[in-house]
Structure 1
Amino acid sequence: MVAALVLIGSAPDEATVICAYILFGLAVGALDVGVSTRAAAIERAYGRSVFGSFCMAWSVGGVVAALLTAGAARLEWSVAAGLNAQAGIVLLLALCMRSQALPSSAPEPSDTLTQPPPGRRLWIRLIPFGLVLLVVYVVESTVSAWSAVYLRQTLAASLTVAPLAYAAYQAGTVVGRAATDRLVHKCGAVSVIRAAALVVACALAGMAAAPSWPFAVLAAGAVGLGASVLAPLSLASAARLRPAASEVVLARLNLFNYVGVVIGGAVSRLLGSTGQFRLAYAAPAALALLLLATARHFTQPPHGTQPMAARRACSGRGSAPS
């Protein structure tokens, strides 16, 4: 990622830029799987939902990156200088990264010996979670690409006000992910997924029918609030399909979110280019309702002796490196 950021900023020609973006995509894909696999290991070790907190950190990082980019523009830095600064931050993180000990979370022998190797059936079992991710990233692409234009052209908002819809969406995402783990512990994953899908569908319908920009901004915040819950719980439940091979499962599942990004970008561009912004939000609202059928496939983190294992780890006994 560091090399890709530097190359993007200093590329002398178009071919180099394309290669740098390919390298950046490879790095992001690997990090997606690596971080999610680590989250799955922590969740197994502690026996409680943690994916919401992991994804909340991702959302906060996006806000920080936007602020850094805005600050670089304010200081009139060149694009290359801004990217080099971000590459320096990533390099510092990479150099400071260390492996931490987790409570012993080795699965029972039967868990690893009786599980068949991941094959075609795994793809079938991933479909419900993949559909959720696909819809989430269709929604994400639509809101990020056209919310400002929608407020400006359809709802007659000023240039200052137009970006507020996406800001509200991001704020809703951070708040929703901060509450995800507590909600799962209190209400269960199935109930949380159903409630989140309904919130997303209703909020998108609200954006499509918004009579004025303040209503659309509030609706965008509600979209972020609901959509933020769906991706973390999809990753968590998918990782439990094959605990001994969670990296394979999550690598396959991540393909769905990239498909969602591509589809969302293409559909929103098609509808947005014709000025049909209300339809661009009404269509994903219908898709969100379909997610209600996938809720029954979501599972809870296993509970057992993990709290005792955590106490042993804190006291320096019984921990095993992960």
Structure 2
Amino acid sequence: MPEAGVPIARRRLAVAGAFATQGFVFIGLTTRLPDIKDRWDLGELGVSAVLLAIVLLAGLGSVVAERLAPRTSSAHLLRAGLVLVGAGAGLMLAAPVWAAYLLGVGVYGVALGVVDASTNMQAVAIERAYGRPILPSFHGGWTFGGLLGAATTLAMADLDLGWSALIGVVAVAMAAAGFLPREASRAFDHAAGGDLPGVPWRPILMVGLGMVVFYMVDTAAQTWGAVYIDEVLHAPSRWVALATLPYLLASLLVRLAGDRLVQQYGAVPVLRVGAVVASAGLVVVSVAPSWPVAVLGFTVVGTGISVVAPLSFSAAARIAGGSVERVDAVIARFNQFNYVGGLLGAVLTGVVGQDQLRFGFVVPTVLVLALLPLARWFSTPSTAGVGAAVSSSGRPSARP
């Protein structure tokens, strides 16, 4: 267990590594969907059913995280979740029988919710310590991990699916990292305490709708992109993961620049421009005559949509205010919007596109424009006095 005096910069690096690990495992699974689909002889509706189960179980995992947040450090929740993510993903990929595969789905689904909630709890606490927007670059860590996951799938394209189960080892190893302990996060917490009944849920709900839109688009692209260019546009099997790889690369670049973009221009214009860009990209995907054109469309989508999720968590934490325990509980509950978007993106895309998957991408093309009116709820006031500044030594110091 790391000591309490560890510089905040090292805590930030550890949490970024957890985001990267989550992205690595998730994309390692989704880019293998065509192989999983073939192994178990699943149709589009069958894949939609599995994805629905994962989304619902992840929602359950997020509820578990919310219930445990008042009395359990998010660092402990994150470690437990990472171990279970590794075990569940490994079982999904290496399962010799259908029952074992379903067990892997169950374990991975619940763990996904726990890790989603706890990584963002950690990130929000560290953002409070820095006193400025840094959530986009944290989510950039997730995207970087996703890029590695897609690249790993490309590198292992000729190997049996069971070898992919090794990606689970990465998650188990990451559980040993030095995450931010609750006693350290309290040192950065200058807001007044408060119970959940005092949370202003209406503005949080509006921000949450923005996150629903993001995950609807993101999950449609990452879950169905590989299947789309494989079965509809007939990409060579070795290049199927390219549906995800350029999308993630574009997302990574924008997220790494996102901290500075939001500081310079504000969240509202960044979100509105991104919504228009993402919609245009989805139009290209929907009408693409060939798989390279669809890959270009997915790349444009990633450029436009990528900063919505981190700005959503940051805005929700700011609106909630109060103690570390209060913010952790709100972030875990807010994380449920993730799975509503996942349902719309993964399941609705498959259902609408069951006869012609091309039509499935029309839904997110239209709904992503809802970010235009919703963006005003993300407006961020000056961060002066909100948290703690980080000194040149890498340790937090009180902001005057």
TM-score, normalising length from structure 1? 0.82
What is the percentage of aligned positions where both structures have the same residue? 32
C-alpha deviation, 1:252, in angstroms: 1.3
Mapped to 2, the partners of 1:27 and 1:163 lie a distance apart of 24
SS at match of 1:106: coil
Could you say which residue in structure 2 is the equivalent of 1:292? 372
Mapped to 1, the partners of 2:360 and 2:87 lie a distance apart of 37
- For the 8 Å contact 2:154–2:239, the answer to whether it is kept is no
- The question of 1:89 aligning with 2:170 is answered yes
- The question of 1:258 aligning with 2:327 is answered no
Equivalent residues in 2 for 1:269-284 (5 A)?
Answer: 269-275=350-356, 277=358, 279-284=359-364
Equivalent residues in 2 for 1:9-158 (5 A)?
Answer: 14-72=98-156, 74=158, 76=159, 79=162, 81-83=163-165, 85-99=166-180, 104-108=187-191, 111-112=192-193, 115=194, 117-119=195-197, 122-148=200-226, 150-151=228-229
- For the 8 Å contact 2:350–2:360, the answer to whether it is kept is no
Mapped to 1, the partners of 2:352 and 2:267 lie a distance apart of 34
SS at match of 2:258: helix
SS at match of 1:291: helix
SS at match of 1:241: helix
- For the 8 Å contact 2:190–2:387, the answer to whether it is kept is no
Q: Which moved more, 1:14-23 or 1:237-246?
A: 14-23
Mapped to 2, the partners of 1:165 and 1:13 lie a distance apart of 29
- The question of 1:201 aligning with 2:284 is answered no
1:38-82 deviations in Å (ceiling 9; x for gaps): 1111111112111111111111112222333444554x4661x54
Mapped to 2, the partners of 1:68 and 1:148 lie a distance apart of 15
2:244 pairs with 166, 179, 182, which one? 166
Mapped to 2, the partners of 1:288 and 1:213 lie a distance apart of 23
- For the 8 Å contact 2:129–2:388, the answer to whether it is kept is no
Mapped to 2, the partners of 1:73 and 1:156 lie a distance apart of 16
Q: Which moved more, 1:213-222 or 1:95-104?
A: 95-104
- For the 8 Å contact 1:103–1:313, the answer to whether it is kept is no
Shift of the 10–210 alpha-carbon distance from structure 1 to 2, 3 Å rule, reads closer
Shift of the 126–73 alpha-carbon distance from structure 1 to 2, 3 Å rule, reads same
C-alpha deviation, 1:150, in angstroms: 4.3
C-alpha deviation, 1:295, in angstroms: 0.8
Gaps of 5+ in 2: 1-83
- For the 8 Å contact 1:141–1:268, the answer to whether it is kept is no
Gaps of 5+ in 1: none
- For the 8 Å contact 1:53–1:181, the answer to whether it is kept is yes
SS at match of 1:95: coil
C-alpha deviation, 1:235, in angstroms: 1.0
SS at match of 1:55: helix
Mapped to 2, the partners of 1:45 and 1:162 lie a distance apart of 41
1:182-208 deviations in Å (ceiling 9; x for gaps): 110110011111111111122212333
Mapped to 1, the partners of 2:120 and 2:381 lie a distance apart of 15
Could you say which residue in structure 2 is the equivalent of 1:228? 306
- For the 8 Å contact 1:6–1:87, the answer to whether it is kept is yes
- For the 8 Å contact 1:309–1:318, the answer to whether it is kept is yes
- For the 8 Å contact 1:152–1:158, the answer to whether it is kept is yes
Mapped to 2, the partners of 1:242 and 1:286 lie a distance apart of 30
Mapped to 1, the partners of 2:269 and 2:104 lie a distance apart of 43
- The question of 1:268 aligning with 2:349 is answered yes
Mapped to 1, the partners of 2:231 and 2:160 lie a distance apart of 31
Q: Which moved more, 1:37-46 or 1:203-212?
A: 203-212
Could you say which residue in structure 1 is the equivalent of 2:3? none
Mapped to 1, the partners of 2:240 and 2:349 lie a distance apart of 17
Matched pairs, number: 309
SS at match of 1:240: helix
Mapped to 2, the partners of 1:200 and 1:143 lie a distance apart of 11
Highest Rg: 1 or 2?
1
Mapped to 2, the partners of 1:6 and 1:287 lie a distance apart of 34
Shift of the 145–318 alpha-carbon distance from structure 1 to 2, 3 Å rule, reads closer
- For the 8 Å contact 1:104–1:318, the answer to whether it is kept is no
SS at match of 1:176: helix
1:252-287 deviations in Å (ceiling 9; x for gaps): 12111112212222222123221151x323321211
Mapped to 2, the partners of 1:15 and 1:249 lie a distance apart of 35
1:216-248 deviations in Å (ceiling 9; x for gaps): 332211101111111111111011122322211
